[in-house]
Amino acid sequence: MNSFELNKIAGAVLAGALTVVAINEFANIAVSPTIPETNAYAIDTGAEESTGTAAVAEEQGPSLAVLMASADPAAGEKIFKKCASCHSVEEGGPNKIGPNLYGILNASKGHLDSFSYSSALLEKGGNWDYEALNAFLTKPKDYIKGTKMSFAGIKKDGQRADLIAYLRTLGKTDVPLPTE
Where along the sequence are the contacts to ligand HEC (CB under 6 A)? 82-83, 85-87, 97-99, 101, 104, 109-112, 117-118, 120-121, 128, 137, 147-151, 154, 163
> Which SS3 state, helix, strand or coil, does residue 127 take?
strand
CB of 60 to ligand HEC, least distance (A): 21
Cβ distance to ligand HEC smaller for residue 12 or 122: 122
CB of 89 to ligand HEC, least distance (A): 9
Instruction: For the chain, give the longest Cα–Cα distance.
Output: 96
Q: Looking at the chain, how many residues does it have?
A: 180
- Helices 157-169 and 130-138: crossing angle in degrees, nearest 10, is 130
One-letter amino acid of 104: I
Cβ distance to ligand HEC smaller for residue 62 or 153: 153
Cβ distance to ligand HEC smaller for residue 63 or 147: 147
Say how far apart CA 112 and CA 159 lie, in whole Å: 26
Q: Are 159 and 79 in contact (CB under 8 A)?
A: yes
CB of 105 to ligand HEC, least distance (A): 9
Cβ distance to ligand HEC smaller for residue 64 or 110: 110
Residues 6+ apart with CB under 8 A from 141: 147
CB of 158 to ligand HEC, least distance (A): 14
CB of 21 to ligand HEC, least distance (A): 54
Q: Are 93 and 100 in contact (CB under 8 A)?
A: yes
Cβ distance to ligand HEC smaller for residue 98 or 178: 98
Say how far apart CA 111 and CA 127 lie, in whole Å: 9
